[in-house]
C-alpha cells in the first residue's frame, strides 16, 4: 500500500498465512489473516480512517483467502480511496470462481497494472477490460553494476568454471529436470560447466510432500553422471547475497513448463543485471527475450536446452552482445524507474476518482454490505469427535457415548472439513486435517468392499451394528467422499475419497430412495470437479437425473408441484440435485423442475411474518392433509440454505439469496419462538425446535447442519452481496 505522490508516507499491509503472524519491520502497519474474512473488513476500516490516498494491491490467487482469493473483495468493497491493482497472474482460461473474482477485481480497481503487454491483451480479450484502464509497468529490479562474472566466482569456489544458474522457490513447474537431462551433452563439450540451483523448496510443497522433488533431481543428476556439475543451495537468500550469485552467473536458465506465466521476477532480475538467458517460451520470456535478447527453446526439450547453452558458450561475441543489450534495456526497469511509473498510475487513479467520487458511506447500508455472519467456532464439533469419528448424539453439550457413531454424521463432518479448508476460517489448519482424517477413516471402515455397501451404525465399542446401512446413509457417504475427491487439497485424502466413491457408486443403480438419488447426484457433481472424464459416473448422473424427472411427472400437479405424495425430510436436496445436474448437463427440463419445486417449497416454508418455518418432523406434510409445524429440524434449514444458494449461483436471481438468508436466520432466532438454536458459547446447535422450546441437546447432525450452513453462506457471501448491490 502506498501514497499517491513522491514524498508521501508509504506503509504496508501484510497477509499472514498463519495465525501467529511474522516479525515484520515497522513499515508494516497492519496485518490480515489470510482466511479470516473479518480481518479484511478491519483492514478497510483502518485504511479509510487513516485517510490513505491510494491503495496498491498486489494480486495473486494464492495469497488471499476464500474461493479463488475472494476474501480480498470484502476489503475492496468498503474502501473510499482509489485502488491500483498489480496482477501477478492473469489467466486466459479461468474457472468460474477465478473469473468472478477477476471481473470484480477489475470493476473495483481504478487502475490495473500488468508487467507485460501480453497481460493487457488477455485483460482486453478475456475479461473485456478497456486498455485505457491498464498500465504496463515492468517488474522492478535492483540496480546491479555490469561486471564480468569472474569477479564474483572465487567467493563461491567456482573460479575458472562456467556457471549456469536457476533460482527461485523450487517446485515441479520449474522444469529443472530438463536442464539436468541436458547437462551430459553440455558437459561433454564444456567440461568446466557447473549448474547452480539456488533457492529453497516452496514451503507449501514441503508441507505436502517434503523434499521429494529436490531429492528426485539429485538422483537424476547422479544417474546421468553429472553430480559433480550440479550444486543445490537449499536456502532463502538475502537481496545482497542474490546480487552476488547473479554476478557469478554466465548463463541463466528458466526451463519453466507452463506457457501461461505472465511474470517472472527471477527472469527480470537476471536479465536486468545483463546476463545471457536461455528460456522456454512462456509469455514473459517470449516478450522480454525477443529480437535476440535471449535464447528461446521448446518446452520439455533437453536437446534444445543443450544446443542453446552450447551455442552461446561457443560464440562469446554473441553472448557479450546479448548481455549488453539486456543490461541497457534493464535500466528502464530498475526500481527508481518503476517507482516513477507507479506514481504516475497512482496520480491517474486519483484524477479518475475525483472525476467520479465515491460517497463516504454510499455502500455501507445494510442492503449493500455483506450479511454479517457469526464467527466460526468448532469447539463443540471437536468435543464431539474422537479418534474414531464424531459421536451421533449429545446430552446438552456432552457427547453421548451410549449412542455411538454413524456414517451419516461422519459424512457430514467430512464435507464440513473440506468446505472449511476451501473457505477458510480461524480454526488452525492442523485441526481440520486431524478431524478430516478421522472422519474419512470412519467412512473407509464403513464400506464393505465385498458388497459395495456402506454400513451406518457403530457402537462405542467400535462394533458395526448392521451389515448395510440405509440407502440414504450410503448415498450421503458417497456425497462426502465425492466432495473429498473433488475438493481436498490433501493428496492422500483425495485419492482415498475417489477410491471409496468408485467402489460404492455402482450399487446406487438399484436404489429406490429419491433422496439417495439426490445425495448421489450431489456427490457426483463434486467428484467430477477432479475427474471430469469418468464415463460411468457421467452415465450414472444422467440416469439418476432422469429418475427424479420421471418421479416428478408421475406425482406433481399444479397445486402440488412435488416429487412425492408427502414432503418429509431433507426436502430441498431433491431440488438442489436437479438444479446442479440440470445446469451442469445443459438439461433444461431438470433445471426448470428443480427451480419450480424449490420455489414451491420456499413458499410453504415461509410464514406471514416473513420467517422460515420448515416442515415439522412430527407428521411431515401429506398432500391434501395438514402440514406439521413442529418439530422443526436443523437439517431442513441447512438443505434450504444449500439449495437456494445453488439456485442463486445458477440464475443470479437475488430472491434466492434472500431465501437462503431467511433459512440461515432460523438458526439465530428468526423462527416461530424467537429463540436461537445455535449456541455461540459452545459452538453447538440444538437438536430441534418444539412448539414450546428448543431441544437443548446439541447432537452431531444438528451442530453440523449449522456449521455447514455457515460455511456455505461464507462461501457465497461475496457473490450474493455483489448481485444484491447491482440490483439496487
Given a cut of 60, is residue 318 above it in pLDDT? Answer: yes
**Domain at 12-140+336-355, CATH class:** alpha beta
Instruction: Taking the CA atoms of 168, 171, 172 and 177 in sequence, report the sign of the dihedral they define.
Output: positive
Express as a percent the part of the chain with pLDDT over 70: 94
pLDDT tens-digit readout, 439-487: 999 999 999 999 999 999 999 999 999 999 999 999 999 999 999 999 9
Given a cut of 80, is residue 560 above it in pLDDT? Answer: yes
Q: In the numeric block, which cell numbers belong to residue 656? A: 434466492
Q: Which candidate, 661, 710, 706, 714, places its Cα nearest to that of 687?
A: 706
pLDDT tens-digit readout, 520-551: 999 999 999 999 999 999 999 999 999 999 99
The gap from C-alpha 120 to its chain's centroid, in whole angstroms, comes to 25
> Is the whole model's pTM more than 0.85, yes or no?
no
Query: Which residues of the chain does CATH 1.50.10.20 include?
Result: 556-728
**For position 357, what pLDDT does the model report?**
59
Q: Which candidate, 88, 119, 87, places its Cα nearest to that of 264?
A: 88
Q: What CA–CA distance (Å, rounded) separates 440 from 461?
A: 19
Half-sphere exposure at residue 434, Cβ-oriented, CA atoms within 13 angstroms: 10
**For position 615, what pLDDT does the model report?**
97
> Residue 309 — very low, low, confident or very high, per pLDDT cuts 50/70/90?
very high
Q: What CA–CA distance (Å, rounded) separates 593 from 337?
A: 60
Taking the CA atoms of residue 359, residue 361, residue 362 and residue 368 in that order, the dihedral angle to the nearest 10 degrees is: 150
> Residue 595 — very low, low, confident or very high, per pLDDT cuts 50/70/90?
very high
Q: Reduced to 3 states, what is the DSSP secondary structure of residue 61?
A: coil
**For position 724, what pLDDT does the model report?**
43
Q: Please list the residues that pair with 31 across neighbouring strands.
A: 14
Q: Which candidate, 664, 648, 667, places its Cα nearest to that of 656?
A: 648
Q: Which candidate, 666, 676, 509, places its Cα nearest to that of 572?
A: 666
**For position 363, what pLDDT does the model report?**
53
**For position 722, what pLDDT does the model report?**
45
Given a cut of 50, is residue 678 above it in pLDDT? Answer: yes
Given a cut of 50, is residue 56 above it in pLDDT? Answer: yes
CA-angle at 497, arms to 202 and 719, nearest 5°: 70
Query: Which residues of the chain does CATH 1.50.10.10 include?
Result: 380-555
Q: What CA–CA distance (Å, rounded) separates 310 from 316?
A: 11
Q: What CA–CA distance (Å, rounded) separates 239 from 593?
A: 61
Burial grade of 355 (CB within 10 A; 0-12, 13-18, 19 or more): exposed
Q: What CA–CA distance (Å, rounded) separates 372 from 1?
A: 27
Strand pairing of 83-87 and 566-567? unpaired
> Residue 261 — very low, low, confident or very high, per pLDDT cuts 50/70/90?
confident
The gap from C-alpha 94 to its chain's centroid, in whole angstroms, comes to 13
Helix (H) or strand (E) holding 644: helix 634-651
Which residues lie closer than 8 Å to 475 by C-beta, 6 or more apart? 508, 511, 513, 515, 516, 517, 518, 519, 520, 523
CA distances from residue 78 to 40, 58, 129, 657 in whole angstroms, order as listed: 10, 18, 22, 21
Helix (H) or strand (E) holding 112: strand 111-114
**For position 359, what pLDDT does the model report?**
52
CB atoms within 10 A of CB 112: 26
**Cell 556457471, residue?**
163
Give the CATH number of domain 150-332; options: 3.60.21.10, 3.40.50.300, 3.40.50.2300, 3.40.50.2000: 3.40.50.2000
Mean pLDDT, the chain, integer: 92
**For position 520, what pLDDT does the model report?**
98
Q: What CA–CA distance (Å, rounded) separates 113 from 120?
A: 9
CB burial readout 486-506, b (16+ within 10 A) else e: bbbebeebbebbbebbbbbbe
Express as a percent the part of the chain with pLDDT over 90: 81
**For position 424, what pLDDT does the model report?**
62
**For position 719, what pLDDT does the model report?**
54
Strand pairing of 694-695 and 688-689? antiparallel
**For position 726, what pLDDT does the model report?**
41
Half-sphere exposure at residue 512, Cβ-oriented, CA atoms within 13 angstroms: 0
> Residue 2 — very low, low, confident or very high, per pLDDT cuts 50/70/90?
very low
Given a cut of 50, is residue 723 above it in pLDDT? Answer: no
Q: Reduced to 3 states, what is the DSSP secondary structure of residue 60?
A: coil
**For position 632, what pLDDT does the model report?**
98
**For position 165, what pLDDT does the model report?**
97
Q: What CA–CA distance (Å, rounded) separates 219 from 669?
A: 62
Q: CATH assignment of 556-728?
A: 1.50.10.20
pLDDT tens-digit readout, 161-186: 999 999 998 999 899 999 999 999 99
Q: What CA–CA distance (Å, rounded) separates 254 from 268?
A: 11
Q: What CA–CA distance (Å, rounded) separates 416 from 705?
A: 9
In SS3 terms, 413-424 reads as HHHHHHHHHHHC
For residue 631, say if its preceding peptide bond is cis, omega within 30 degrees of 0. yes
Taking the CA atoms of residue 182, residue 183, residue 186 and residue 188 in that order, the dihedral angle to the nearest 10 degrees is: -120
Q: What CA–CA distance (Å, rounded) separates 199 from 522?
A: 43
> Residue 235 — very low, low, confident or very high, per pLDDT cuts 50/70/90?
confident
**Domain at 380-555, CATH class:** mainly alpha
DSSP state letters, 179-235: HHHHHHHHHHH-TTEEEEEESPBPHHHHHHHTTHHHHHHHHHHHHTT-GGGEEEE-S
CB atoms within 10 A of CB 137: 21
Query: Which residues of the chain does CATH 3.40.50.2000 include?
Result: 12-140+336-355, 150-332
Q: Reduced to 3 states, what is the DSSP secondary structure of residue 612?
A: strand
**For position 366, what pLDDT does the model report?**
52
Q: In the numeric block, which cell numbers belong to residue 367? A: 442492503
Between these two residues, 205 and 600, which has the higher pLDDT value? 600
**For position 17, what pLDDT does the model report?**
85
Q: Reduced to 3 states, what is the DSSP secondary structure of residue 175?
A: coil
In SS3 terms, 360-411 reads as CCCCCCCCCCCCCCCCCCCHHHHHCECCCCEECCEECCEECHHHCEEHHHHH
Q: In the numeric block, which cell numbers belong to residue 596? A: 419450480
Q: Which candidate, 718, 689, 685, places its Cα nearest to that of 702?
A: 685
CA-angle at 273, arms to 269 and 275, nearest 5°: 100
Q: What CA–CA distance (Å, rounded) separates 185 from 147?
A: 28
Q: Reduced to 3 states, what is the DSSP secondary structure of residue 57?
A: strand
pLDDT tens-digit readout, 627-676: 999 999 999 999 999 999 999 999 999 999 999 999 999 999 999 999 99
**Cell 502497519, residue?**
29
**For position 205, what pLDDT does the model report?**
81
**For position 371, what pLDDT does the model report?**
63
Q: In the numeric block, which cell numbers belong to residue 477? A: 457417504
pLDDT tens-digit readout, 5-44: 556 689 999 999 888 889 999 999 999 998 888 889 899 9
pLDDT tens-digit readout, 386-399: 999 999 999 999 99
Amino acid at each position: 500500500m502506498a501514497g499517491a505522490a513522491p514524498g508521501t508516507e508509504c506503509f504496508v499491509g501484510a497477509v499472514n498465512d498463519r495465525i501467529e503472524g511474522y516479525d515484520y519491520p515497522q513499515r508494516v502497519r497492519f496485518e490480515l489473516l489470510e482466511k479470516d474474512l473479518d480481518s479484511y473488513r478491519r483492514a478497510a476500516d483502518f485504511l479509510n480512517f487513516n485517510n490513505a490516498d491510494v491503495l496498491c494491491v498486489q494480486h495473486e490467487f494464492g495469497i488471499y483467502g476464500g474461493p479463488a482469493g475472494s476474501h480480498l473483495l470484502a476489503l475492496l468493497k468498503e474502501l473510499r480511496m482509489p485502488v491500483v491493482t498489480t496482477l501477478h497472474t492473469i489467466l486466459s482460461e479461468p474457472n468460474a470462481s477465478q473469473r468472478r473474482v477477476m471481473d470484480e477485481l477489475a470493476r473495483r480497481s481504478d487502475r490495473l497494472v500488468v508487467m507485460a503487454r501480453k497481460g493487457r491483451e488477455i485483460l482486453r480479450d478475456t475479461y473485456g477490460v478497456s486498455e485505457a484502464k491498464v498500465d504496463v509497468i515492468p517488474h522492478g529490479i535492483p540496480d546491479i553494476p555490469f561486471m564480468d562474472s569472474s569477479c564474483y566466482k572465487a567467493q563461491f569456489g567456482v573460479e575458472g568454471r562456467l556457471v549456469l544458474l536457476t533460482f527461485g522457490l523450487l517446485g515441479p513447474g520449474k522444469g529443472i529436470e530438463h536442464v539436468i537431462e541436458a547437462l551430459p551433452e553440455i558437459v561433454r563439450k564444456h567440461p568446466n560447466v557447473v549448474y547452480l540451483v539456488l533457492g529453497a523448496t516452496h514451503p507449501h510443497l514441503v508441507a505436502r510432500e517434503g523434499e521429494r522433488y529436490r531429492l528426485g533431481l539429485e538422483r537424476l543428476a547422479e544417474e546421468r553422471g553429472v553430480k559433480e556439475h550440479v550444486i543445490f543451495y537449499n536456502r532463502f537468500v538475502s537481496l545482497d547475497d542474490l546480487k552476488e550469485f547473479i554476478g557469478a552467473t554466465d548463463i541463466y536458465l528458466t526451463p519453466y513448463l507452463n506457457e501461461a506465466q505472465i511474470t517472472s521476477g527471477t527472469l527480470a532480475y537476471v536479465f536486468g543485471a545483463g546476463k545471457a538467458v536461455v528460456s522456454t517460451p512462456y509469455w514473459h520470456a517470449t516478450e522480454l527475450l525477443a529480437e535476440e535478447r535471449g535464447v528461446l527453446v521448446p518446452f520439455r526439450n533437453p536437446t534444445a536446452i543443450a544446443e542453446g547453452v552450447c551455442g552461446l558458450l561457443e560464440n562469446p561475441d554473441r553472448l557479450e552482445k546479448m548481455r549488453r543489450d539486456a543490461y541497457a534495456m534493464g535500466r528502464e526497469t530498475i526500481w527508481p524507474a518503476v517507482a516513477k511509473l507507479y506514481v504516475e498510475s497512482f496520480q491517474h487513479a486519483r484524477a479518475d476518482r475525483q472525476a467520479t467520487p465515491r460517497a463516504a458511506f454510499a455502500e455501507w447500508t445494510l442492503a449493500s454490505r455483506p450479511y454479517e455472519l457469526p464467527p466460526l467456532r468448532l469447539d463443540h464439533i471437536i468435543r464431539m469427535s474422537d479418534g474414531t469419528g464424531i459421536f451421533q448424539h449429545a446430552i446438552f453439550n456432552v457427547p453421548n457415548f451410549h449412542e455411538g457413531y454413524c456414517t451419516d454424521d461422519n459424512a457430514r463432518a467430512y464435507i464440513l472439513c473440506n468446505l472449511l479448508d476451501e473457505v477458510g476460517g480461524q480454526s488452525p489448519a492442523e485441526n481440520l486435517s486431524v478431524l478430516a482424517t478421522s472422519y474419512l477413516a470412519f467412512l473407509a471402515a464403513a464400506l464393505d468392499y465385498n458388497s459395495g455397501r456402506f454400513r451406518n451404525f457403530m457402537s462405542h465399542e467400535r462394533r458395526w451394528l448392521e451389515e448395510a446401512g440405509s440407502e440414504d446413509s450410503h448415498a450421503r457417504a458417497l456425497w462426502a467422499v465425492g466432495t473429498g475427491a473433488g475438493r481436498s487439497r490433501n493428496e492422500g485424502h483425495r485419492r482415498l475419497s475417489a477410491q471409496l466413491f468408485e467402489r460404492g457408486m455402482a450399487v446406487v443403480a438399484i436404489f429406490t430412495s429419491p433422496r439417495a438419488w439426490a445425495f448421489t447426484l450431489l456427490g457426483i457433481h463434486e467428484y467430477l470437479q477432479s475427474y471430469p472424464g469418468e464415463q460411468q459416473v457421467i452415465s450414472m448422473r444422467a440416469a439418476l437425473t432422469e429418475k427424479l424427472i420421471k418421479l416428478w411427472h408421475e406425482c406433481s400437479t399444479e397445486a402440488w408441484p412435488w416429487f412425492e405424495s408427502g414432503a418429509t425430510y431433507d426436502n430441498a436436496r431433491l431440488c438442489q440435485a436437479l438444479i446442479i445436474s440440470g445446469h451442469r448437463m445443459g438439461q433444461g427440463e431438470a433445471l426448470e423442475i428443480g427451480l419450480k419445486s424449490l420455489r414451491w417449497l420456499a413458499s410453504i416454508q415461509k410464514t406471514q411474518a416473513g420467517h422460515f418455518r420448515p416442515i415439522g418432523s412430527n407428521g411431515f406434510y401429506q398432500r391434501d392433509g395438514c402440514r406439521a409445524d413442529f418439530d422443526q429440524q436443523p437439517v431442513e434449514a441447512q438443505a434450504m440454505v444449500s439449495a437456494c444458494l445453488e439456485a442463486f449461483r445458477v440464475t443470479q436471481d437475488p430472491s434466492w439469496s434472500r431465501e437462503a438468508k431467511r433459512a440461515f436466520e432460523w438458526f439465530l432466532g428468526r423462527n416461530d419462538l424467537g429463540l436461537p438454536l445455535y449456541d455461540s458459547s459452545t459452538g453447538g446447535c440444538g437438536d430441534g425446535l418444539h412448539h414450546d422450546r428448543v431441544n437443548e441437546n446439541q447432537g452431531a447432525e444438528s451442530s453440523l447442519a449449522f456449521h455447514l450452513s455457515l460455511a456455505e453462506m461464507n462461501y457465497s457471501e461475496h457473490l450474493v452481496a455483489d448481485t444484491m448491490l447491482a440490483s439496487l
